[in-house]
Amino acid sequence: MTFFPKLNKIMDFAELAPLNGFLLVDKPSGISSFDVIKRINRRFSIQRTSKKIGHGGTLDPNASGLLVVAIGKATRLLRYFLGSDKRYIATIEFGARTTTDDCEGEILETAPFEHITREGLETALQAFRGKISQIPPNYSALHIDGKRAYDRARHGETFEIPAREVQIHEISILHAELPRNPVIQLDIACSGGTYIRSIARDLGIALGSQAHLKALRRTRSCHFDIEQAKTLDFILKQDDISAIMRSCSEAVAHFPTLTLARPQAYRLLNGQPVNLNVSEDGTYAIFECDSCALISILERSNHHNDFLRLYPASDFQP
């Protein structure tokens, strides 16, 4: 999650009201996730009104698809998107490995691909289902001894990135005309933190060839779907984005819920103890019953309660 400095005044501050919620953006390829945030911030003066804006998981500039953008109080909920399950359409090309494991890098090695069949691909994909170990690309944002891996790679440094376990819930073929055409499309549902570029690279090796990621489109993040998203151009043409924003409540719709009367809500937001009647570990969304406002997130583990409070207590004074 990244927050960005204030930009120049575009609209009259007095005419703007604070926004709290999520924008579901269909990011085009060719721009960074930072650029999406910057353009929305500049167009709607977000940081002059709602103070904060951030996103729930970076898409590389070459990738397109669902980018969850949080505004105002919603930025405090981004932690639940960064590590959440994702879904992608991955376009993979066999025959060459690149420095970045995608089409942006220089070719490191070529290899024949004419021996790869659809049946062989189906067999190889079996090893990419369930819990797998993968080594992230050298050109990644991971920190290696206090420095970004891509910075080390750009400076020609030699380093190793440790393997990590990720979960591949589903992986299936959307399109393949092997061996005539070395380009295939896969539908991949996976845990947060999965590198699709690593899957492309490792799949090529598993099939006795080399491969890289040619294109990537994110179609799902947590329980939000690309079909719910608006294009960036559409969003930037709006005068008021409140009508197309998703509420904080929608973002946590998959959590079990608890409701509190206003006096109890006030006590909780004031840091005072309240009886929640919760015995099982888990993450809970807490609402104030009169306003139906999401006021807090409870994370319970080993009989210990941690609260993420979204409002000051003064907003719910009895």
Catalytic residue ranges: 60
Distances (CA, A) of 207 to 102, 188, 210: 18, 18, 8
Tokens coding 87: 């879904």
Rounded CA separation 298/161 (Å): 34
Tokens coding 282: 């888990």
Rounded CA separation 239/241 (Å): 7
What is the 8-class DSSP label of residue 84? Answer: S
One-character DSSP codes across 210-235: -EEEEEEEEEEETTEEGGG-EEHHHH
* Sequence-distant (≥ 6) Cβ neighbours of residue 81 within 8 angstroms: 56, 57, 68, 70, 221, 222, 251
Tokens coding 189: 């549902």
Cα-to-chain-centroid distance, residue 60: 11
Q: Which residue has the tokens 């609402």?
A: 287
β-strand partners of 167: 131
Task: Single out the residue of 52, 1, 67, 61 nearest to residue 231, CA to CA.
Answer: 67
Pairing relationship of beta strands 257-260 and 282-288 according to DSSP bridges: parallel
Distances (CA, A) of 257 to 137, 146, 195, 222, 274: 39, 39, 33, 17, 15
Rounded CA separation 257/278 (Å): 11
